[in-house]
Amino acid sequence: MPALRDVVDLLHGWYPPGTADSWDAVGLVHGDPEAEVAKVMFAVDPTIEVAREAVAWGADLLVVHHPLFLKPVHGFAATTAKGRTLSTLVAGGCALLTAHTNADRAVGGVSEALAHALGLTDLAPILPGGSTPLDKLTVFVPVEAAQAVRHALAAVGAGRIGDYEHASFSSEGKGRFRPTAGATPAIGTVGRPEVVAEERVEVVIERGLRRRAIAALTEVHPYEEPAYDVIELADHGDTRTGTARIGTVAETTLGAFAETVAAALPATAHGVRVAGDPDRVVRRVAVCGGAGDFLLGDVLRTDADVYVTSDLRHHPAGEFLEQEGPALVDVAHWAAEWTWLPVVEARVLAALGDTVGTRVSTTATDPWNFRL
């Protein structure tokens, strides 16, 4: 059986916590990283009913989409609703892990799962995810000292590109300088022009490591005043990850597509609400798992025929439709995000095989249970 630490590392590899929004609360909420994990359950919401289901099944880990503690708390006594949920999990020996906005925008994440559930192909993010800000650092160093500089830069993380490290480029040339009064040159004499065989060493480095890289090269560089420059590289964006998704379906009508949506999602009292001409032709579809009216302006600038999301408010939806853009399909928040659960379950099984048992929660946590 894997340890909890191993399962957490696996999930964090797919849904890196660092990609979550700054206001979010993701990662391991409770659990001993060294404990063994035999059973993993997946759910959208960490409600008391879900916690009881997980404990009754014997789950060692409950993976949820929505955070239990989105806002800071000073305690989790069982006199509160959230405290009862966590106390139930603790008493049952079940760890808790949250993957929220980091799972929303990831490959194999929530919006992508919703898109696949609705039959979309040729997927792309509506708002591509930003890549890690990078610099290109160039330093000029005497040939005999170039290797020491390259090693020093690599030791602080320079030259890492994807799955490669120690990546650099060098070209040879001649450096020219004349030490002035007060200098103590490593090469040459004060007042006398010098020409030195040098290497131009270029490396890529994460911008957050810039100061460490400059300090590292300065420490090993033989010159009093090393010559270097730093260029900030443009953010090319990551075309696979990002917010929401847009894709293509076989040509259909809005009415028929809405029926497809209803059939693909778990049934809820909310149902499927549609704004648009039922006979409108639909080829391009935008989707956002969870509350998506913050993206209405961005969707309007796409070639989508319809936008599928949740929690659309009256005024933003009405103003959107007045601009003669895509039709709207509003579905239950829980139902849209539920589509991710079988996806992440399958990924865990593929990675860990029969070393763990898995289960998608059968508890519907949509807050609305009937309508008149």
pLDDT recorded at residue 238: 59
Give residue 307's pLDDT band: very low, low, confident or very high (50, 70, 90).
Answer: very high
Give residue 185's pLDDT band: very low, low, confident or very high (50, 70, 90).
Answer: very high
Is pLDDT of 66 > 90? yes
Torsion angle (degrees, nearest 10) of CA 63, 65, 66, 71: 70
pLDDT recorded at residue 332: 98
Neighbours of 159 (CB within 10 A): 21
Give residue 237's pLDDT band: very low, low, confident or very high (50, 70, 90).
Answer: low
Helix (H, G, I), strand (E, B) or coil at 169: strand
Neighbours of 344 (CB within 10 A): 24
Q: What is the mean pLDDT of residues 224-248?
A: 88
Neighbours of 237 (CB within 10 A): 14
Q: What is the mean pLDDT of residues 211-229?
A: 95
Helix (H, G, I), strand (E, B) or coil at 48: helix
pTM of the model: 0.79
Give residue 101's pLDDT band: very low, low, confident or very high (50, 70, 90).
Answer: very high
Give residue 119's pLDDT band: very low, low, confident or very high (50, 70, 90).
Answer: very high
Give residue 129's pLDDT band: very low, low, confident or very high (50, 70, 90).
Answer: confident
Is pLDDT of 223 > 80? yes
pLDDT recorded at residue 133: 83
pLDDT exceeding 70 applies to what percent of the chain? 98
Long-range CB pairs of 58-62, under 8 A, 24+ apart, other chains included:
59/92, 59/94, 59/359, 60/4, 60/35, 60/36, 60/93, 60/94, 60/95, 61/4, 61/7, 61/31, 61/37, 61/94, 61/95, 61/96, 61/97, 62/89, 62/94, 62/95, 62/96, 62/97
Is pLDDT of 130 > 80? no
* Token digits of residue 193: 């022009």
Give residue 87's pLDDT band: very low, low, confident or very high (50, 70, 90).
Answer: very high
pLDDT recorded at residue 161: 86
**Owner of token pair 């890492």:** 160
What CA–CA distance (Å, rounded) separates 330 from 223?
65
Angle (deg, nearest 10), helices 210-220 and 146-155 = 150
Residue type, 267: A
Q: What is the mean pLDDT of residues 264-292?
A: 97
Average pLDDT along the chain: 95
pLDDT recorded at residue 252: 98
Give residue 239's pLDDT band: very low, low, confident or very high (50, 70, 90).
Answer: low
pLDDT recorded at residue 295: 96
pLDDT digits (tens, 9 = 90+) for 71-80: 888 888 999 9
What CA–CA distance (Å, rounded) separates 137 from 150?
11
pLDDT recorded at residue 235: 72
pLDDT digits (tens, 9 = 90+) for 310-362: 999 999 999 999 999 999 999 999 999 999 999 999 999 999 999 999 999 99
What CA–CA distance (Å, rounded) separates 53 from 368?
20
pLDDT digits (tens, 9 = 90+) for 140-155: 999 999 999 999 999 9
